[in-house]
């Protein structure tokens, strides 16, 4: 298709992060024009609000990468517009006149903790990972007005992926940092605590959890340490499997030794203890692994706690007007990036590929495991390795799918001048309302003050 014909097509993308920016760039490079609707100020999704803010280098690199893609003459970035709330999906698809709509809205709904009635404690004694990470990453900002949390000693985290290990680190850093300050007048910044680890920090200051009167936090996992997501094996031989399992166990032990949390494997949450309308404990049922399956047995353990953090993965937030098969978007059987029931609606990235808790692609997972096994990169930040690899996979898949979407556009009739003018007018009105001028100016004005910069000014 020649460029001038492409220019007659405007497409909409919902979400501007890893997958949205990649899809937008692929289409824009082919001469198509794209409007990227993003509900937040910044288009960085999980990188900005989910990746713990000590990953400064990785965050900055990935965000810059998104900027390079979105700052394109054929892309109109429209921030602060949530599809499904500010503009209904029906209106976007039926009234705006876009040649196609691509969903790249990720997975932002925490998978509910499967314990009956426990939701009544949500936001109080029950905290979900996405909300906790948002607070942790942004609480230092002078105009922060989100939900405020206080990590409690003795908190219990339910999870089992690498992200849940980051939750353990956040919790242990917060409680030890506070105790050192209040009891000893020692003020250590978060970056140093994360880098050195709790054990070394306590040794340096001749103290211990016990002396500070701290019990520490507990991570409860339904399987064993060896089953954690690094388990992906090099090949199908029993030796490779065993080796990968040993590495996973070793790595978890390293985390436990460095950040001093407790680990309770082979337990699932089944009930809670309540007193005066507050959560006071969680009842766990013991399980066995039978031919790879988690099988509950008749043994129970109660952990007394007034704080439970659920870190069992994220699901796409449902948008009214779209078809879902339980938690996931219903896709066409023959074209797995095309949404069922529409002929011009597509979905890419985590909106379709995320599978709840950390489930990296086998190939990429294997790559990381090989690297760890072969190079013994025990000290490497695993979460960074995992995320980089996962995002590469999301980007690769998005690129391939978007190429196919372009083929589909070729067969669509071009938009009239009137429709194009209406899209331009409507997006201009949204820009004016938000005070948006250019992509660069907007990003520079809206990027929040970074904790590392605040600390270096002290």
Ligand X SMILES: Cc1cc2nc3c(=O)[nH]c(=O)nc-3n(C[C@H](O)[C@H](O)[C@H](O)COP(=O)(O)OP(=O)(O)OC[C@H]3O[C@@H](n4cnc5c(N)ncnc54)[C@H](O)[C@@H]3O)c2cc1C
Q: Considering only residues 200 through 239, tell me which ones interact with ligand X, judged by CB under 6 A.
A: none
Task: Read off the tokens for 341.
Answer: 């029931």
Task: Give the burial string for 52-86 (b: 16+ CB within 10 Å, else e).
Answer: bbbbeebbeebbebbbebbebebbbbbbbbebbee
**Which residue in 168, 244, 247, 319 binds ligand X (CB under 6 A)?**
319
Q: Is 50 a binder of ligand X (CB under 6 A)?
A: yes
Task: Read off the tokens for 40.
Answer: 């937040």
**Which residue in 100, 127, 132, 163 binds ligand X (CB under 6 A)?**
163
**Which residue in 358, 405, 409, 443 binds ligand X (CB under 6 A)?**
358
* Dist. CA 154–CA 304, nearest whole Å: 8
Measured at CB, which residue is nearest to ligand X? 106
Q: Is 132 a binder of ligand X (CB under 6 A)?
A: no
**Which residue in 305, 307, 314, 389 binds ligand X (CB under 6 A)?**
314
Q: Is 40 a binder of ligand X (CB under 6 A)?
A: yes
Question: Taking the chain, what is the end-to-end CA distance rounded to the nearest angstrom?
Answer: 57
Distances (CA, A) of 428 to 74, 112, 417: 15, 39, 16
Which CB atom, from 272 or from 386, has the smaller least distance to ligand X? 386
User: Closest Cα to residue 114, out of 279, 284, 265?
Assistant: 284
* Dist. CA 281–CA 149, nearest whole Å: 18
How long is the chain? Answer: 458
Q: Could you tell me if 24 and 113 are in contact, meaning their C-beta atoms sit under 8 angstroms apart?
A: no
User: Closest Cα to residue 380, out of 261, 255, 260, 257?
Assistant: 255
Q: Is 93 a binder of ligand X (CB under 6 A)?
A: no
We find the least distance from the C-beta atom of residue 204 to ligand X, in angstroms, to be 29
* Dist. CA 150–CA 132, nearest whole Å: 10
Which CB atom, from 318 or from 410, has the smaller least distance to ligand X? 318
Which CB atom, from 127 or from 179, has the smaller least distance to ligand X? 127
**Which residue in 74, 391, 402, 415 binds ligand X (CB under 6 A)?**
391
Which CB atom, from 63 or from 153, has the smaller least distance to ligand X? 63
Only one of the segments 192-200, 242-250, 351-359, 449-457 lies at the binding site for ligand X (rule: CB under 6 A); that segment is 351-359
Q: Is 15 a binder of ligand X (CB under 6 A)?
A: yes
Which residues would be at the binding site for ligand X (CB under 6 A)?
A: 14-20, 37-40, 43, 45-46, 50-51, 82-84, 104-106, 108, 133, 163, 313-314, 317, 319, 349-351, 354-355, 357-358, 387, 390-391, 394
């Amino acid at each position: 298709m020649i460029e001038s014909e492409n220019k007659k097509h405007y497409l909409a993308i919902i979400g501007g992060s890893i997958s949205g920016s990649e899809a937008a760039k692929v289409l824009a490079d082919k001469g198509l024009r794209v409007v990227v609707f993003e509900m937040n100020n910044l288009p960085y999704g999980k990188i900005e609000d989910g990746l713990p803010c000590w990953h400064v280098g990785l965050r900055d690199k990935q965000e810059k990468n998104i900027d390079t893609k979105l700052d394109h003459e054929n892309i109109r970035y429209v921030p602060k517009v949530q599809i499904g709330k500010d503009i209904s999906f029906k209106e976007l698809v039926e009234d705006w006149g876009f040649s196609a709509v691509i969903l790249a809205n990720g997975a932002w709904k925490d998978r509910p903790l499967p314990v009956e009635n426990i939701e009544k404690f949500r936001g109080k004694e029950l905290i979900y990972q996405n909300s906790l990470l948002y607070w942790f990453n942004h609480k230092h900002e002078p105009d922060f007005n989100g939900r405020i949390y206080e990590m409690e000693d003795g908190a219990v985290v339910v999870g089992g992926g690498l992200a849940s290990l980051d939750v353990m680190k956040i919790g242990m850093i917060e409680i030890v940092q506070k105790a050192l300050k209040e009891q000893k007048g020692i003020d250590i910044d978060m970056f140093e605590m994360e880098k050195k680890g709790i054990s070394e920090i306590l040794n340096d200051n001749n103290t211990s959890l016990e002396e500070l009167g701290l019990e520490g936090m507990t991570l409860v996992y339904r399987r064993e340490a060896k089953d954690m997501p690094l388990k992906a094996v090099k090949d199908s031989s029993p030796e490779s499997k065993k080796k990968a399992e040993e590495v996973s166990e070793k790595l978890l032990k390293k985390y436990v030794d460095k950040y001093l949390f407790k680990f309770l494997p082979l337990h699932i949450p089944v009930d809670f203890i309540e007193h005066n309308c507050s959560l006071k404990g969680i009842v766990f049922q013991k399980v066995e692994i039978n031919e790879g399956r988690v099988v509950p047995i008749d043994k129970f353990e109660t952990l007394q706690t007034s704080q439970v953090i659920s870190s069992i993965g994220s699901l796409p937030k449902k948008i009214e007007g779209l078809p879902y098969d339980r938690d996931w978007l219903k896709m066409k059987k023959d074209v797995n990036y095309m949404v069922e029931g529409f002929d011009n609606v597509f979905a890419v990235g985590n909106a379709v590929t995320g599978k709840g808790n950390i489930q990296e692609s086998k190939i990429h997972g294997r790559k990381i495991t090989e690297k760890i096994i072969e190079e013994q990169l025990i000290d490497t930040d695993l979460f960074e390795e995992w995320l980089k690899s996962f995002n590469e996979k999301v980007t690769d898949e998005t690129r391939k799918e978007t190429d196919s979407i372009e083929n589909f556009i070729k067969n669509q009739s071009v938009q009239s001048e009137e429709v194009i003018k209406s899209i331009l007018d409507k997006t201009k009105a949204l820009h004016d309302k938000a005070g948006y001028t250019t992509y660069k100016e907007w990003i520079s004005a809206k990027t929040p003050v970074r904790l590392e910069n605040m600390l270096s000014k002290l």
